[in-house]
Amino acid sequence: MAAPNSRRARAARRRTRRVKAVVNDLTEEQWAALKAAWNGCAYCGVSGKPLQRDCVMAISRGGRYTVENVVPACAACNASKCNDEVTSWMRRKRLDERTFLERYVAIKNSTTPNAHRPDTEPG
């Protein structure tokens, strides 16, 4: 456990305040559906390891824990990405950014009831 006034403890308290300050409406059912849809880490594809909720847009950048913004990530990818913007982080790590984004949009559209779908708009 970190000392109450250590840098680590202060950072943890700031993060807790940020998380509580935003709307976080990801349900356990939605989280289970996301894990099933991705079938492993959304970034590196590893399966068979525990997965963590990772915000595509970090909480520190205005993201929220919602079905539209959360993907399952292995501990290594989640820690490595930290607060970085997802596409620049993927380029640095030499991960397949295009495949991730295409899959992210497809899964988001299938798990979000009111997702924007251009093919269904009135013309």
Residue 37 included in any domain: yes
Per DSSP, what are the bridge partners of residue 73?
52
Residue 120 lies in a domain: no
Give pLDDT, residue 15: 74
Q: Is residue 62 part of a domain?
A: yes
What is the SS3 assignment for 52? strand
d(CA 17, CA 123): 44
Q: How many separate domains does the chain show?
A: 1
Torsion of CA 94, 97, 81, 39, to 10 degrees: -110
Residue 119 lies in a domain: no
Is 11 within the bounds of a domain?
no
Which pLDDT belongs to residue 106? Answer: 95
Within a domain: residue 103?
Answer: yes
Summarize pLDDT for 3-62 with one digit per residue, the tens.
778 888 888 888 778 767 666 788 999 999 999 999 999 999 999 999 999 999 988 888
For residue 89, being part of any structural domain is answered with yes
Question: With 60 as the cut, is the pLDDT of residue 1 above it?
Answer: no
Give per-residue pLDDT as tens, 76-122.
999 999 989 999 999 999 999 999 999 999 999 988 766 554 554 44
Please give the pLDDT value at position 3. Answer: 77
Q: Residue 13: inside a domain, yes or no? A: no
pTM for this prediction: 0.74
**Res 122: pLDDT:** 45
Q: How confident is the model at residue 123 (pLDDT cuts 50, 70, 90)?
A: very low
Q: How far apart are CA 78 and CA 67, in angstroms?
A: 17
**What is the model's pLDDT at position 47?**
94
Residue 34 maps to which CATH number? 1.10.30
Q: Which domain holds residue 65?
A: 25-112
Residues sharing a CB contact under 8 Å with residue 96, sequence separation 6 or more, in sequence order: 90
- Tokens representing 39 are 């079938």
Three-state secondary structure call for residue 93: helix
